Structure 1
């Protein structure tokens, strides 16, 4: 199911059929994200005419290309490589004519990668804010609201710089609702949020605000291009890959294997809270055959958050799965997995992990206590001890998280549980 979910949003498969017609003038390919290199390669392999450009992706997510330069940078906390690449991307968008085309390739991860501070801000300022956001519990829309207003390239600024050229943006969504202005912080999309909204995120999560950041957010320079801005009149977006497409592909695999799928959709919230809801649904299926009889597959996507209080290693998928394990407490006949479709669970080297009815018992035999590891935000350590981490390496796509819970029939549970 996980493989099918990733395959459904493979840039090498979904980009070729959605390319725009070549322009009279130049074609400049610009972009960023975890799928940027694969998207660039797909454009190169299927483009009829001259082509040039630059895309930025995460370290380890590159691919060899011929005409479009691929640069790698740090994610989720940006570095100097990302800053330099973002500056060059903005420069390549400038000085174009109405006969030129900017083909922008945006996927999840673009927001953190494109670190070009606005105004008098420095890279260190951006890094400090990013670290705070990652620990705060803020959702992706809130994070990207802040990032847009601290940037010289996001929140529609890249498209504004490219005016009067035509701008076509190909998107692979990693956000609930597939809002183009949130995906990658919308470098080519008008921004409906304001500096006041960005300040409110700091206040909501009681995040410290560096003085330089405060001065910037209180200045006119921080405001982004809004809907109706004439500089963005020639910009359009094409949605190529979505979390829903990945979930549908996984559901087809489950159905073929004899499991009735139910898709809960793109979910947000604390990973532990989302796990409790999933556990409740799984128990209801197992005990009462509601909302569907077993064998059933409970499938969801989206992006949870983790408010970090402990010192352990873990991404949001490992956190979700460990909280699910604690909630289910070894209930027979229920297996689960959770993984990030980009192959990287947060900042770790795994995509996610697997959970079985005996996971807590096996861990206890090794001296690993599930509740203690959860309190320490150490989902990675828990599943690593069991050798149940899922390691795929970079997939070069990203439609956020994938979660699946299989609930077997009662007769199977009685034999195997």
Structure 2
């Protein structure tokens, strides 16, 4: 976090803690219950949001040299991301141009070329078609037109973004804007290493999971014996830094020890957790000694299922027993807090909503981060992204206006 941001956030927290205040939205937001279970609604989300927008698919440390690759899917669309000889990345549809088989079957690895397991069509690292066995059967084929289908990809701050649909080159720096770019630069995420990763398949709509990451209102209620006692419930700052990016900060109880000090002089970071929101589905959580990158994806066909990937980043991989102990302790606490406690509530929520008694849920003025997500989605699904930039008064949001959608 940049120094001027720390000072601004500290000033706001010191004020809020004295007055039991927080960053409020302009009004309550009704959210259509069907958005959490309706298959037609989910299909529109997949088509208009997830297949056309940049999604975080990897950390840079997973692609650590020429020929290193990972395979991913975005709502069912198979991707192949490859580190090139010059250090750049290319992304491709992981589909052979001959008969449509997957070219790379492993989740990750290092290769000099990719050979389709069906008929051994072979592709270079840059996606160009290298070899066709018994090529006399294809003597009328222009090989230059039958390389792997290239997809947009970009790498910044140690994160790799890709789009599941062919299109223009990505410029993530421009997409996230100067202030978000400056904050992430200050953390030097590109110098961190992926030390542990897990993927969870859950019986919940993806937004149930996302809402949990955006909810400082629930801490003392859902986590009374784990993390709840260490945080100030319902006190947060939210800065919307662009149409798709925001900074959510929640404070630890330890912030009370410094709240009488000059905000310009305090080191705020030990007393807060920053959650950087990269819509539609990625959250970067900043802890004192590690980072968590959470990516939530809808199921390709079922509105009431999702897939969540957690990447745990450290500056260096553990080399001592003490470092291994830190990793294991924090991993276990994280999994228990999120998977057991947060998602325990989420599973029950998902089980109740589809039965028709409740037509809409309500996001309060004190749940502005949730309104940011749902307002963004409403604008996209309505076909009028300009709606997401409608003006609003301070204090929330502080940059781009209140992203408030209408239930439908």
TM-score by length of 2: 0.24
- The structure with the largest helix share of the pair is 1
Whose RCO is larger (CA < 8 A, sep 6+)? 2
Higher strand proportion (structure 1 or 2): 2
> Which TM-score applies when normalising by structure 1?
0.24
